[in-house]
Structure 1
């Protein structure tokens, strides 16, 4: 595979950020942990169906996972990454974050 192709690395980073093991990901996707390892090490590529299921599991878009050739879509990955991080917050912290964002936007 092309050495600039980072899909496996991105998949691994998101798995770790979401505190998931290869076994847990494999179970959700209906594959073996070895398959997940092979994907993370760019030895094989996920099917679109598996890629969509993985994106849903870690709370990102497929665009975010594979990158996009169209500059107009570049914000999608950032939006999903922000949403993914916000989902991890406790409710009280979400309220604080919302207040902070509203104050920041007024400037």
Structure 2
């Protein structure tokens, strides 16, 4: 993921998942205006909303906020990779494994 401010990261992930601001607002029990303000960095998302948003999108809060502590970013990336791999069928996991072996040569 590109190095973005939190609001832009939230928006990018929402769009990648094909969700509208209304759909996100409904799940988080907030208004679409609140989501718009968060995405445009006019307001900060509460910790409660961040946790629920991360769950909705299927990522960790760590990955969402992109903490920059030494080693932390790579740990968050590893968690995101595992999360995505777990969504794959066994057939696609085998295909991915073959690709990774080629990349690592």
The TM-score with structure 1 as length reference comes to 0.78
Unaligned regions of 5+ residues in structure 2, if any? none
Q: How many pairs were matched up? A: 103
Structure 1 stretches of 5 or more lacking a match? none
Question: Separation in 2 of the partners of 1:22 and 1:76?
Answer: 29
Closer/same/farther in 2, CA of residues 75 and 5 from structure 1, 3 Å limit: closer
Partner of 1:35: 34
Q: Secondary structure at the match of 2:71?
A: helix
Query: Stretches of 4+ moved more than 6 A in 1?
Result: none
* SS of residue matched to 1:71: coil
Partner of 1:66: 65
Equivalent in the alignment of 1:99: 98
- TM normalised by structure 2 equals 0.79
Matched ranges for 1:1-107 at <5 A: 6-83=5-82, 85-86=84-85, 89=88, 92-101=91-100, 103-104=101-102, 107=105
Provide the aligned C-alpha RMSD in A.
2.6
Distance 1:67 1:25, change over 3 A: same
- More displaced stretch, 57-66 vs 14-23: 57-66
